[in-house]
Amino acid sequence: MSNFNLDQTLVLLYFLATLGFGFYKSSDKGINNFLFAGRKLTIPALVATLVSTWYGGILEVGRFTYENGIVTWIIFGLFYYIAALLFVKYIAPKIIESSIPTIPELFLKSFGKIPALIAIVCVILLTTPAPYLKILATLFDFVWGIPIFWALVLGASLSLVYAVTGGFSAVVRTDKLQFFLMFTGFAILLSSAYFEYGGISFLTANTPEFAFSIPGNFSWTFIFVWGFIALITFIDPGFYQRSFAGQSLKTVQRGILISVGFWVIFDCMTVLSGLYALAVLPVVETSPYLDLAALLLPPFAKGMFLVSLFAIVMSTVDSFTFISAYTMGRDLPIVLGLKLTEEKMIQLTRVGLGVTALFSIWLALYFEYAVDIWYLVGSFVVPALLIPLIAGLYKTQINKPIIQLLIPPALAICWYIHGKSNLTSDGYPGYIWG
């Protein structure tokens, strides 16, 4: 690969900068500081961490756009904007009002021990960084040619090392850097494509018919399944954590609303970049974004774009790993009724970082594409947690909560098996209603 050393140098400088931000300050004493930054997140910090952690699956967005066109914006954009706006109105106020810091603890206080244990399993599955480690491994392979297993190990290690000492505050500090880098990289790629090839008229003239059609390659049923999966925002432990960690309800609501604006901008940048790749790349060897950057960008600009991709993915890996870890280190002992000191819970959370990394590496090796993990986990976890979570926040009694938690995912599993057993000619799940 040409200018390989320059790419490596810029990425290494990014790693050093990230570690510097992460290790800049150790977490203040106390579990509230370690897990929730003392509940002092300001609007800029909240926006930076919400936006940067939202896009860990960036290479999958590029692949999806290349294969399916503008419908990607509906599946991975529009549905989530709507869900986030509903979260601002109906969920965030109840999180602040309840003063319950995590989803499993909410389930424990609302429904009892067994539902809380089920919630713990769901949260761990929901926050596994496996899909994002898989994408990170692709980037390591592109820049250094590292085999996937060692790339997964390296990605997991780099993304969690500063969280061991700095906690959530360290994660937020690195997110501020990564927020800046993610927009910089795609601004470079998109502007270069525009000046080289032209605008929308070029894209419509040089892409297949499906690129600008809706529903494109999919049935409406498949698209609406993704719309339902977008409700994962309501039960997203990252959203829950950041809402709880905000300075006030007004801070949280304004932060999320501003974040939605940045999501719209960034989604337009990523989908348009994917469409440029579709227009000019007859075959994709690695990833539409990576191949487009290699074709179009001069050496330094290409290196900066690679840095932006690493920043996008690592911001999600460290966030999800941290949430999964404290679900094991804090929530599990509380649900089991163990009387542990705050220091012991912090120690167990640090152990949980390693356990999460190992589990996620195994999961990433098992699945071929990151989007497969999203679809599978989202299809099962959303129906299990969604209604009980809303009921818990609104203090609504549920009869037989264990059954309520188990039946929806059981039906989702049956639906999933039916779809996978009746694939369409394009290889997508086929459902009863199209």
| Mean pLDDT, rounded, for 363-387 | 79
pLDDT at 3: 47
For residue 251, pLDDT beyond 80:
yes
For residue 317, pLDDT beyond 70:
yes
Name all domains of the chain by residue range, CATH numbers in brackets.
4-365 (1.20.1730.10)
pLDDT at 1: 44
| Mean pLDDT, rounded, for 315-335 | 93
For 188-235, what is each residue's pLDDT tens digit? 999 999 999 999 999 999 999 999 998 888 888 888 888 887 888 898
CA pair distance 422, 434, nearest whole angstrom: 11
Contact assessment for residue 337 and residue 41, using Cβ atoms and an 8 Å cutoff: no
For residue 265, pLDDT beyond 50:
yes
For 148-168, what is each residue's pLDDT tens digit? 999 999 988 887 787 777 888
pLDDT at 366: 84
CA pair distance 327, 330, nearest whole angstrom: 6
pLDDT tier for residue 423 given thresholds of 50, 70 and 90:
low
Q: Where are the alpha helices (DSSP H) in 99-147?
A: 103-111, 113-126, 130-144
| Mean pLDDT, rounded, for 300-309 | 95
pLDDT at 434: 46
Least confident of 6-15, 17-26, 95-104, 184-193: 17-26
pLDDT at 21: 85
- Tokens 């986030």 -> residue: 84
